[in-house]
Amino acid sequence: MPQEIEASGADRIVALVLSVLREETGARPRVTVTWAQTATGVIAAAGGARATISGPESMKLTHRLRALHDAILVGIQTVLADDPQLSVRLVEGSQPQPVVLDSRLRFPRTARLLARADRKPWIFYRAADPSDEQELEKRGARLFRTRASAPGLDLAEVLRVLAAQGIRSLMVEGGAKVLRAFIAQGLACQAVVTVSQSRMEGVPGPGIPALLSSVQESLGPDAVLWGRVAAI
Ligand SMILES: NC(=O)c1ccc[n+]([C@@H]2O[C@H](COP(=O)([O-])OP(=O)(O)OC[C@H]3O[C@@H](n4cnc5c(N)ncnc54)[C@H](OP(=O)(O)O)[C@@H]3O)[C@@H](O)[C@H]2O)c1
């Protein structure tokens, strides 16, 4: 008799995320908002310094989730604070397209995102010096000029442009301002939040949005919450 293999907590979260991504959608990409926070909702050390919040099991889950999405998006403050690669490294899987919101093209020429050989970043911006545009394009970045709409770039337009580029699913990974904006504008379909037991003073996260349904799993020392975000 074939042995039944019990799904792990991480497998269950992956299955839930995938089921939402597979739902029939309109023209817009499906958006998953995801972050790691302490029990009190802190997502970065004081002053924005990089801090490891989640344990190895939830880090691995984050990479599995990245591989499920066509693109992964962060705000420029996260690039400046963390210099992330936004790649899938801890598991086998396809590499999502890195996307950055950066109204004034503050994107550093030395960013690790520009050093990636496989996928160069797509940067959404509003206005910049032509020499800055040329510098970034020379390094392989693709620039999308976008109109603004408080609190920053017009997210509906960003999503429209991404859809036109063939992006059907988007993982928004931070930081707090960008996550808050996607949630406040009703653009997120689902949330995956890693809640660690670590204690730290620092930058408050976006806060867990109203959820229509949710599941919580233990992953090593962390709890991982998945939820379908209530439409606004
Ligand atoms: N724990 C985690 O899971 C996690 C994940 C990621 C980041 N982080 C932490 O988060 C911190 C950064 O977060 P943050 O809130 O300061 O910055 P952020 O969300 O990374 O970036 C915010 C910036 O993005 C730009 N932006 C453009 N359009 C926007 C829009 N429509 N809505 C919001 N922002 C828009 C704005 O800069 P311009 O006006 O210049 O365009 C804005 O100041 C870092 O310390 C990082 O370590 C934690």
pLDDT, tens digit (0-9, with 9 covering 90-100), for 107-126: 999 999 999 999 999 999 99
Q: Is it the case that residue 4 has pLDDT exceeding 60?
A: no
Q: Return d(Cα 114, Cα 60) in angstroms, integer.
A: 23
Q: What is the dihedral of CA 148, 153, 155, 161, to 10 degrees?
A: 90
Q: Is the CB of 49 under 6 A from ligand 1?
A: no
pLDDT range class, residue 1, cuts 50, 70, 90: very low
Among the four given CATH numbers 3.40.50.300, 3.30.1360.170, 1.10.10.10, 3.40.430.10, the one describing domain 9-229: 3.40.430.10
pLDDT of residue 46: 87
How far apart, in whole angstroms, are the C-alpha atoms of residue 88 and residue 65?
A: 9
- Smallest CA separation from ligand 1 atom 8, residue: 175
Report domain extents, the chain: 9-229
Express as a percent the part of the chain with pLDDT over 90: 88
Which ligand 1 atom lies nearest to the CA of residue 36?
3
Q: How many angstroms is it from 78 CA to the middle of ligand 1? A: 5
Alpha helices in the chain (DSSP H): 9-21, 56-68, 76-82, 112-115, 130-138, 155-164, 176-184
Rounded mean pLDDT, 194-219: 95
What's the whole-number average pLDDT of the chain? 94
Q: What is the pTM of this model?
A: 0.96
Identify the pLDDT of residue 24: 79
- For tokens 């959608």, the residue is 25
Ligand 1 mutation target, pool 33, 77, 123, 147, most atoms within 8 A of CB:
77
Task: Give the residue whose CA is nearest to atom 16 of ligand 1.
Answer: 77
